[in-house]
Amino acid sequence: MSASPLLIVENLVKHFPLTPSLVDLLLRREPEVVRAVDGVSFSLARGEVLAIVGESGCGKTTIARTLIGLEEETDGTILFNGQRIGATDRRTLAGLIPLESGAVGTREQQTLPRMSLKHLRQHAQMIFQDPYESLNPRATIFEIVAEPLLVHGLLRKREERIARVKSALEDAGLRPAEDYFLRYPHELSGGQRQRVVIAGAMVLEPELLIADEPVSMLDVSIRAEILNLLKDLQKKRAVGIVFITHDLGTVAYFADRLAVMYLGRIVESGPTAEVLKNPQHPYTKALLSVVPVPNPRLRRERIILQGETPNPLNLPGGCRFHPRCPVAMEACKQSDPTYVRVAEGHEAACLLAQPVTSS
Amino acid sequence: MAESALLRVRNLNTEFLIPDQGAARALEDISFDVHPGETLGLVGESGCGKTTALMSILRLLPANARISGQVFFKGVDLMTLPEKEMRAYRWRELAIVFQGAMNALNPVMRVGEQIREAITLHRLMPTREAEVRVGELLELVGIPKERGAQYPFQYSGGMRQRAMIAMALACSPSILFADEPTTALDVMVQAQVLELLNDIQQRLGLAIVLVTHDLGVVAEMCDTVVVMYGGKVAEYGPVDVIFNDPQHPYTQKLLESFPDLNEPTEVLASIPGTPPRLTEIPPGCRFEPRCHVCINRCKTESPPLLRVGESHLAACHLLVDKL
């Protein structure tokens, strides 16, 4: 991490206000908010893979959507290549003075800030979970992969465009690329479709790729191919990848660093091997213990947390994990733990975590 | 095979007649045994016939399916029974937890009522007693019985899956078929559901047939494993042998392609290509087009299931020389 990081996220907050009921309106109650992401900070170096792991509803997809500008963050800063790309910053970039209230009035004001999103999305691309739904069924593979180039007005010459689409498809493992140009998504298998999605994301040669559960819809034997492909692209092109998943097995293979999320916060983060070997947060320990191991000789004691992730509408006080924590103490109900450095680059937010002795 | 088997499936074949395309051979010569109290895993990729095998056994397939072969349940061949008698077996003896519990529950009916319906339909007990039984069943799967009055949308994914299991247990079956019971659930909820299945099995002593594509789940749960590929049994044996001494190249590759948390590797093994289309099945071994060790014979001749160890069977030509 010698050069400046590709992506820095500081104290990112995304709250979704609920539509207040009539009674609430009449009583002038504060509108309730779902705290999907509640103060998350991380950074990503060029060519690095950061995995964000957690259960459904922990806010990992909201982070991805906020990074790419599909959601506007409530608070916090996102620096991409040293440039602020948050929602308010985008408005400023577009020549708009951000409104005091954060709300935007006219239609013109709503559409204008999106123009600077275009700049962001040329350099940061997203791969969605479901390759069956993220491809236009009525467009040919060539049209799908070439569309980002048209949108961004790149490679205006037809020959150049064809060459770029061809190389993108071939890099994604669809060879010979010409055979796929005129085919439609329904003619392809799930693995091939996900390759088309990857080709479409890589055709702009982005620096950042956000992959939201890119293999969870695929069969095991195909999953490995797609993971190998992503890893290959990351090495060859030095693309930074934010990899969002709930599958720790995949993470162990794929990611350089790991961030474990629980209820809108990162509870533990660090180099993958280090976190997996030496988990400090009880939630990480529990998650690790329930990952099925493909070896019947290694059946072991699992830490099964009862119940489910609490509703992010009314978060528990103190440490937000304490109601489900197997080792919770009285103090956990009172204070929200801060990050403790447990090893080089390895942090955990738990009162029980042992800080590294300063050397 | 041993007489003690609860369910004996013998040479089960299922074809689907498709207009203009002929027949899709979804299952070919499937045979396996389920013993009392055992957990059998049916593993394979999408489209390998796992679900079709379950549905064939329960005779729940659409009208264009042609099933042949025998399925003996406690000595009775289910395939020869008239439909009316078959209904006496379904749910009372052979219950199923359908895939996608999210969508398998009736959204406009209270969960408790849906479970009660399963009991009263089979005329097991009067309605009033059934009410009590519903409460017991819900508690058994870890749902407070008051929540039986709620609708499925008020349940989380894990709870819906639990409700499905409660419904399947309504008539105290001997065998519980579970079709991908944990797919689409989070790891923690998955662990809870698997623990519940284990717990119920120990308390009620039933046999479980678990259909899944997740080898990790199989390793955690099953005693015996049937690995299926393209509608055929590729390998069949005790779980320890399948995972630690796999003989079929498909099983070997499948295991290598599964990322292991304990031993992360640099490159994951992958199986190039895709499973065969069931309407265009290769003449020889069905795995031959994707196999890394195939020989000439594989192209023309389909390998028989060979006995490679005690209660360990595998279908591969290469194993002939090893015998």
- In 3D space, the residue among B192, B119, B112 whose CA is nearest the CA of residue B155 turns out to be B112
**pLDDT grade, residue A112 (50/70/90)?**
very low
Q: Pick the range with the lowest mean pLDDT from A128-132, A296-300, B91-95.
A: A296-300
Written as six digits, the tokens of B12 are: 């089960």
Q: Quick check: A200 and A192 in contact, CB under 8 A?
A: no
Q: Does residue A85 register a pLDDT over 70?
A: yes
For residue B317, what is the DSSP state? T
Q: What is the mean pLDDT of residues A91-97?
A: 54
pLDDT at A169: 93
Structure tokens, B73: 């349940």
- State mean pLDDT over A28-51: 88
| Residue type present at position B90 | R
| Neighbour count for residue A203 (Cβ, 10 Å) | 26
CB contact under 8 A, B268 and A253: yes
User: Residues A2-12: pLDDT tens digits?
Assistant: 468 889 999 99
Residue corresponding to tokens 């099945």: B281
Q: In what order do the strands lie in the sheet with A7-17?
A: A33-44, A7-17, A75-80, A83-84
Interface contact A189, partner B, CB < 8 A? yes
Under DSSP, the state recorded for A289 is H
Angle CA(A349)–CA(A352)–CA(A358) in degrees, nearest 5? 80
Residues of A in contact with B192 (CB under 8 A): 304, 306
Spatial distance between the Cα atoms of A45 and A64, rounded to a whole number of angstroms: 17
Is residue A209 exposed (0-12), middle (13-18) or buried (19+ Cβ within 10 Å)? buried
Which residues of A are less than 8 Å from B219 in CB distance? 292-296, 298-299
pLDDT for residue A256: 92
Q: What share of chain B is helix, strand, coil (3-state, %, to 5)?
A: 35, 25, 40
Looking up tokens 């408790």 gives B112
B208 has pLDDT over 80: yes
Least confident of A216-220, B211-215, B245-249: A216-220
Q: Do A249 and B215 touch (CB under 8 A)?
A: no
Tell me if B243 and A296 make a contact (CB, 8 A cut-off): yes
Q: Kindly state the DSSP code that residue A272 receives in the 8-state scheme.
A: H
- Closest CB to B261: pick one of A223, A227, A291: A291
Condensed to tens digits (0 to 9), the pLDDT of residues B21-31 reads: 788 888 999 99
Q: How far apart are CA B23 and CA B65, in angstroms?
A: 9
What is the rounded distance in angstroms from the CA atom of residue B225 to the CA atom of residue A15?
A: 47
Question: Which residues on chain B are in Cβ contact (under 8 Å) with A56?
Answer: 157, 186
Of B215, B176, B212, B214, give the one whose Cα is nearest residue B196. Answer: B176
- Looking at beta carbons, which residues of chain A come within 8 Å of B269? 224
The string of pLDDT tens digits covering residues B274-291 is 788 877 788 889 999 889
**Pick from B46, B244, B253: CB nearest A219:** B46
What is the rounded distance in angstroms from the CA atom of residue B239 to the CA atom of residue B7?
A: 19
- Residue A35: strand, helix, or coil: strand
Q: How far is B54 from chain A (nearest CA, A)?
A: 20
A322 within domain boundaries: yes
Dihedral of CA A93/A98/A103/A106: which sign? Answer: negative
Digit-coded pLDDT (tens) for A149-163: 998 888 889 999 999
Average pLDDT of span A167-195: 89
B→A interface, C-beta within 8 Å: 45-46, 156-158, 186-192, 195, 213-220, 222, 239-240, 243-244, 253-255, 257-262, 264-265, 267-272, 274
Mean pLDDT (whole number) for B200-219: 91
pLDDT score of A99: 47
Is residue A355 in some structural domain?
no
In which residue are the tokens 């994990």 written? A321
Beta strand extents in B3-131 (DSSP E only): 7-18, 22-34, 39-43, 65-73, 76-77, 94-97
Q: Smallest Cα–Cα separation from B45: which of B237, B249, B271, B260?
A: B271
Q: What is the pLDDT of residue A23?
A: 82
A241, A209 Cβ separation under 8 angstroms: yes
What tokens appear for A163 in the block? 């060459």
Share of residues in chain A with pLDDT > 90 (%): 32
Specify burial of residue A89 (Cβ count, 10 A radius: 0-12, 13-18, 19+). Answer: middle
Cβ of B46 within 8 Å of Cβ of A56? The answer is: no
Q: Does A288 touch chain B (CB under 8 A)?
A: yes
CB B209 within 8 A of CB B221: no
Q: CA nearest B13: which of B206, B278, B244?
A: B278
Total residues belonging to chain B: 323
pLDDT more than 90, % of chain B: 45
pLDDT band at A109 (very low <50, low <70, confident <90, very high): very low
For residue range A266-284, what is the model confidence (pLDDT) as tens digits? 999 999 999 998 999 999 9
Pairing verdict, β B7-18 and B22-34 = antiparallel
Q: What is the pLDDT of residues B120-178, one digit of tens each?
A: 888 778 888 889 999 999 999 989 989 999 999 888 888 898 999 999 998 889 999 99
State mean pLDDT over B173-190.
Answer: 87
Residue A35 is encoded by which pair of tokens?
A: 């705290």
Q: Which domain range does residue A215 map to?
A: 7-348
CA distance A224 to chain B (A): 5
Distances (CA, A) of B103 to A248, A269, B99, B209, B229: 27, 36, 9, 21, 27
* pLDDT confidence of residue A89: 65
Judged by CB atoms closer than 8 Å, whether chains meet at B272 and A225 is answered as yes
> Is the pLDDT confidence value at B317 over 80?
yes
pLDDT at A1: 42
Residues 15..74 of A with a Cβ closer than 8 Å to B: which? 55-56
Q: In angstroms, rounded to a whole number, what is the distance separating the alpha carbons of residues A228 and A237?
A: 14
> β-pairing, B312-314 with B306-309?
antiparallel
**What is the spatial distance between Cα A171 and Cα A198, in angstroms, rounded to a whole number?**
9
Q: pLDDT class for A129, splitting at 50, 70, 90?
A: confident
Whether the per-residue pLDDT at A286 is higher than 50: the answer is yes
pLDDT of residue B2: 47
CATH at residue A296: 3.40.50.300
Q: Is A288 a member of any domain? A: yes
- Say what the pLDDT of residue A108 is: 46
Q: How far apart are CA A125 and CA A206, in angstroms?
A: 6
Closest CA to A195 of A176, A214, A182, A210: A214
pLDDT number for residue B14: 93
Could you tell me whether strands B224-229 and A83-84 are parallel, antiparallel, or unpaired per DSSP bridges? unpaired
User: Phi and psi at residue A146, in whole multiples of 5°?
Assistant: -80, -20
Q: Do A253 and B188 touch (CB under 8 A)?
A: no
Residue A2 within any structural domain of the chain: no
Tokens linked to A146: 């070439």
Locate B153 and state its tokens.
């949308």
Tell me the average pLDDT across B4-18. 91
Those residues with Cβ within 8 angstroms of residue A174's Cβ, 6 or more apart along the chain or in another chain: A141, A180, A192, A195, A196, A199
State residue B211's pLDDT score.
93
Mean pLDDT of all residues belonging to chain B: 88
Is residue A179, in this structure, part of any structural domain at all? Answer: yes
Task: Answer yes or no: is A356 within a domain.
Answer: no
Rounded CA-CA distance A95/A295 in Å is 59
Residues of chain B contacting residue A293, judged by C-beta atoms under 8 Å apart: 216, 219-220, 260-262
Phi, psi of B303 (to 5 degrees): -75, 140
Per the DSSP assignment, residues forming a β-bridge with B224 are B40, B238
- The closest of B5, B3, B1 to B207, measured between CA atoms, is B5
A219 and chain B: CB distance < 8 Å anywhere? yes
The conformation of residue A59, written as its DSSP 8-state character, comes to S
Please state, in angstroms and rounded to a whole number, the distance separating the CA atoms of residues A21 and A18: 9
- Span A119-128, average pLDDT: 86
* Residue that wins the pLDDT comparison between B247 and A33: B247
> What structural domains and CATH numbers belong to chain B?
7-93+173-322 (3.40.50.300)
pLDDT at A3: 65
Best B225, B252, B261, B263 member to test A by mutation, with max A CBs in 10 Å, is B261
Alpha carbon A159 to chain centroid distance? Answer: 35
| Average pLDDT of the segment spanning A189-216 | 90
- ipTM value: 0.81
Band of residue A317 on the pLDDT scale cut at 50, 70, 90: confident
A290: nearest CB among B156, B191, B254: B191
Return the higher-pLDDT residue of B223 and B126: B223
The stretch A183-212 carries a mean pLDDT of 90
List, as one string, the DSSP characters of B113-159: HHHHHHHHHTT-S-HHHHHHHHHHHHHHTT--GGGGGS-GGGS-HHH
For residue A284, list chain B residues with Cβ-Cβ distance below 8 A: none
* Contacting residues for A208 by C-beta, under 8 A, at least 6 apart: A6, A7, A44, A80, A123, A124, A125, A239, A240, A241, A242
Q: Is the pLDDT of residue A90 over 80?
A: no
Among A298-312, B57-71, B122-136, the least confident range: A298-312
From the list B189, B195, B219, which residue is nearest A292 (CB)? B219
Centre a 10 Å sphere on the Cβ of residue A223 and count the other Cβ atoms it contains.
Answer: 24
pLDDT for the residue B165 = 92
Q: How confident is the model at residue B241 (pLDDT cuts 50, 70, 90)?
A: very high
The rounded distance, in Å, linking the Cα atoms of B214 and B257 is 11
Tokens representing A118?
A: 């275009």
Report the number of distinct structural domains present in chain A: 1
Tell me the pTM: 0.84
Q: Which residue has the higher pLDDT, A269 or A251?
A: A269
Q: CA-nearest residue of chain B to A296?
A: B219
Distance of CA B129 to the CA centre of its chain: 32
- Per-residue pLDDT averaged across B4-16, rounded? 91
Lowest mean pLDDT segment, chosen from A83-87, A144-148, A285-289, B318-322: A83-87
The percentage of chain B sitting over the pLDDT mark of 70, rounded to a whole number, equals: 98
**A313 pLDDT exceeds 80?**
no
